[in-house]
């Protein structure tokens, strides 16, 4: 088990989630049950799966949940690209995609590190 408060990836995922909630609050009301809901669920899934994996008993389980978190990061990335194409959020939040990319890389690297320690 890992102490999630010490995991930089978890902290970054939480920060990303706060940013996503702030951005999606400005989406049109008719998107409340569409993209607004989807991007919020995706970002919550990233940090939640990192936390769940960290709390599991084996490195293999942690690796599995990091994979799920990474999948959610790609899902979020896609949803934000769609939202951008629909002009649902302003250009000044472009950096959010960079944050997602960083989390994706961190997820992959942590998975590789844990696999190396398993072998």
Task: Give DSSP secondary structure letters for 54-85.
Answer: HTSSSHHHHHHHHHHHHHHHHHHHHHHHHHHH
Cα separation, 66 vs 61, whole angstroms: 9
Determine contact, residues 50/13, Cβ cutoff 8 Å: yes
DSSP structure string for 103-114? HHHHHHHHHHHH
Rounded distance between C-alpha atoms, residue 22 and residue 99, angstroms: 15
Q: Would you write out the chain's pLDDT as a tens digit for each of its 119 residues? A: 678 889 999 999 999 999 999 989 989 889 888 999 999 999 999 999 999 999 998 999 999 999 999 999 999 999 999 988 888 876 566 789 999 999 999 999 999 999 998 55
Prediction pTM value: 0.90
Going from the N-terminus, what domains does the chain have, and what CATH number goes with each? 4-118 (1.20.1440.60)
CA distances from 48 to 14, 38, 52, 68, 81 (A): 9, 15, 6, 10, 22
């Amino acid at each position: 088990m890992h102490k999630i408060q010490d995991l930089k990836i978890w902290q970054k995922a939480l920060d990303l989630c706060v940013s996503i909630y702030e951005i999606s609050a400005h989406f049109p009301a008719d998107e409340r049950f569409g993209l607004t809901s989807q991007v919020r669920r995706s970002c919550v899934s990233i940090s939640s799966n990192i936390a769940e994996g960290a709390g599991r008993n084996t490195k293999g389980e942690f690796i599995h949940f990091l994979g799920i978190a990474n999948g959610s990061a790609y899902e979020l990335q896609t949803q934000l690209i769609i939202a951008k194409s629909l002009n649902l959020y302003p250009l000044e939040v472009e950096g959010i995609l960079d944050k997602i990319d960083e989390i994706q890389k961190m997820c992959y690297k942590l998975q590789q590190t844990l696999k190396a320690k398993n072998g």
